[in-house]
């Protein structure tokens, strides 16, 4: 039972991770097409966006997303933020299941 739930959480977390990478790429492509900065920064690649800690911090707090004037960019960054939060939550739940299983 716990093993099945663990596998389900890991599979869904991996799905969220893949979608996170895809939506970050979409945000990067949109920012290069519209020549807009993302949270005040211009990135050379989507990988640079994913590795920038200030970008991740702005995704986590979501306050900066509300101040973006472009509605399409705001929608994409909201998706990125949601996938980031989901993958983190599911990963922590999977770790919690491992810890729970060690006590049972």
Please enumerate, as own/partner, the contacts of 60-64 that have beta carbons within 8 Å and a separation of 24 or more.
Answer: 60/84, 60/85, 64/39
**Structure confidence by residue, pLDDT tens digits, 51-73:** 989 889 988 887 888 888 888 99
The pTM of this model reads 0.85
The pLDDT of residue 104 is above 80: no
**Structure confidence by residue, pLDDT tens digits, 22-31:** 999 999 999 9
* pLDDT band at residue 89 using 50, 70 and 90 as cut-offs: very high
Residues 96 and 53: their CA atoms lie apart, in Å, by 25
Q: Locate the domains of the chain by residue range.
A: 2-103
Residues 32 and 20: their CA atoms lie apart, in Å, by 18
């Amino acid at each position: 039972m716990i093993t099945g739930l663990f596998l389900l959480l890991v599979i869904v977390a991996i799905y969220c991770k893949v979608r996170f990478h895809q939506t970050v790429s979409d945000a990067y492509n949109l920012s290069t097409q519209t020549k807009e900065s993302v949270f005040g920064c211009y990135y050379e690649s989507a990988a640079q966006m994913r590795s920038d800690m200030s970008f991740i911090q702005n995704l986590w707090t979501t306050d900066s997303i509300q101040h973006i004037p472009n509605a399409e960019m705001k929608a994409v960054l909201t998706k990125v933020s949601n996938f980031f939060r989901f993958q983190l939550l599911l990963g922590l739940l999977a770790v919690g299941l491992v810890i729970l299983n060690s006590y049972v």
